[in-house]
Amino acid sequence: MLQPIIAGVIGALTGFASSFALVIAGLLAVGATPEEAASGLLALCIAQALLAGILSWRSRLPLSFAWSTPGAALLVAAEGSTGSYGAAIGAFIVCGVLILVSGLWGWLGRAMTRIPMPLAGAMLAGILFPICIAPVTAVIEEPLLAAPVIVVWLLLVRWATRWAVPAAMLVAIIGVVVSAGSDWMLGATLSPGFTLTMPAFDPLVIVSLGVPLYIVTMAGQNVPGFAVLTTLGYRDVPARRVLASSGLATAVSAPFGGFALNLAALTAALMAGPDSHPDPARRWVAPVAGGATYVLLGLGAGVATALVAAAPPILIIAVAGLALLGAFTTGLVSAFEAPETRLTAAVTLIVVASGVVVLGIGSAFWGLVVGAVVLIVTRPRRVPDETLHDDTVHDVGPQE
């Protein structure tokens, strides 16, 4: 059993190190205090550990869960668009309820999977675009801190891809600690706890944050997560149970800062693949071990939050941009794959990436609306079969 345990630990370390800073930055962007952000990270770690442990043990399938990394990027992009952190919490709850409903009523889940790829892919790419260009900006603004991060990432992309982003994050942490000295520890809480925030259900925030958060979590995480498991030979995944459980866990953890939970896509290949164990029937141990590791990592949420708070914001976003380049590329490919809908994809991406706020509603929602309009207007019209109404006799070859 040692092999799947090691795979689970490695998967958890990789997933946590790759994006924990983005989670904290996202929660801070929508109005959380450092204590509330630490609570959110802890809540997400414990919730996904419970999901992975219980569902994997009961089904004997390697079902690993994670926070929504594209969702965290959406929170960063939504900075300043929420009136209060309580309104963001209300949007998190709505997102969880929608995921829950997708599991209970299959028609909604199927509808999500049928969103035209030019829209879904372009929206994902548009959300990630400002974050993915952050490494370039960081090299200009913080060259001494950012340049080593990018060099280490680039070298490991070539020689040890799995560790490229965690190593880049480690270099960034070392740079922050060295540059800040011991001051960054002044605000650190070694034993973080849960901070309850009462939700406020603001319709504008729900439309601009809650609904897009649901869409990117479903299209950018859950759908790829199911696809990975299917590719690895697991065709009997209890999809309704997975969606309903992750939606319920999101809604319950939301008042503590848990913005979105979903089936893992990036680490699923490690925990459910042959690297976990040659026997597929024993790979379910890996997500259980990974969940236990996430609990231990979550206990350091206070220290992690203090580190993020002490770092130059552009440096944290730059590391997140390196981690999200793969997801950004996937979004671009799916958006622009079909030549006939490339204009739709381009318009959607531009509107989402613009960051505009109209009537208090953010650009992710407006990108979908404008993209849908362009898709409808530019859709090729069906040419009627004129031969059905043509009395002319055409020469079509020998006749009886």
Residue 111's pLDDT is 65
Distance of alpha carbon 244 from alpha carbon 101, whole angstroms: 7
**176 pLDDT exceeds 70?**
yes
Residue 113 binned pLDDT confidence (cut-offs 50, 70, 90): low
Confidence grade of residue 227 (pLDDT, cut at 50, 70, 90): confident
Tell me, what's the pLDDT at 337? 85
Residue 83: exposure state from Cβ atoms within 10 A (0-12, 13-18, ≥19): middle
pLDDT of residue 157: 84
Its sign, for the CA torsion 313, 255, 83, 357, is positive
Distance CA 311, CA 179 (A): 9
Least confident of 80-84, 89-93, 98-102, 133-137: 80-84
Band of residue 174 on the pLDDT scale cut at 50, 70, 90? confident
Distance CA(82)–CA(212), nearest Å, equals 14
Burial of 63 (0-12, 13-18, 19+ CB in 10 A): buried
The per-residue pLDDT for 187 is: 55
Look at residue 14 and tell me whether its pLDDT is greater than 90: no
Least confident residue range of 61-65, 378-382, 384-388: 384-388
* CA–CA separation, 212 and 30 (whole Å): 15
- With pLDDT > 70 as the criterion, what percentage of the chain qualifies? 87
Mean pLDDT of 74-81: 80
Q: Give one DSSP letter per residue of 317-358, joined into a string.
A: HHHHHHHTHHHHHHHHHHHHSSGGGHHHHHHHHHHHHHT--B
What is the predicted pLDDT for the residue at 1?
Answer: 73
Confidence of residue 388 (pLDDT cuts 50, 70, 90): very low
CB-CB contact of 264 with 68 (8 Å):
no
State both tokens at 187: 């605000």
